[in-house]
Amino acid sequence: TLLMEASISDDLKVYTMAQIEQHCTHDSLWIIYDGKVYDMTSFYPRHPGGTALLRKAGKDVTTSLQMVQAHGLPWNIIQKTLAENMI
Write the CATH number for 29. 3.10.120.10
Q: Are the C-beta atoms of residues 65 and 34 closer than 8 Å to each other?
A: no
**What is the pTM (predicted TM-score) of this model?**
0.82
Q: What is the DSSP string of 21-68?
A: HT-EETTEEEEEETTEEEE-TTTGGG-TTTTHHHHTTTSB-HHHHHHH
Q: Is the pLDDT of residue 4 over 70?
A: no
Q: Look up the domain containing 69 and give its range.
A: 2-85
Q: How many domains does the chain have?
A: 1
- Dump pLDDT digits (tens) for 28-87: 999 999 999 999 999 999 998 889 999 999 999 999 888 876 667 788 888 899 999 999
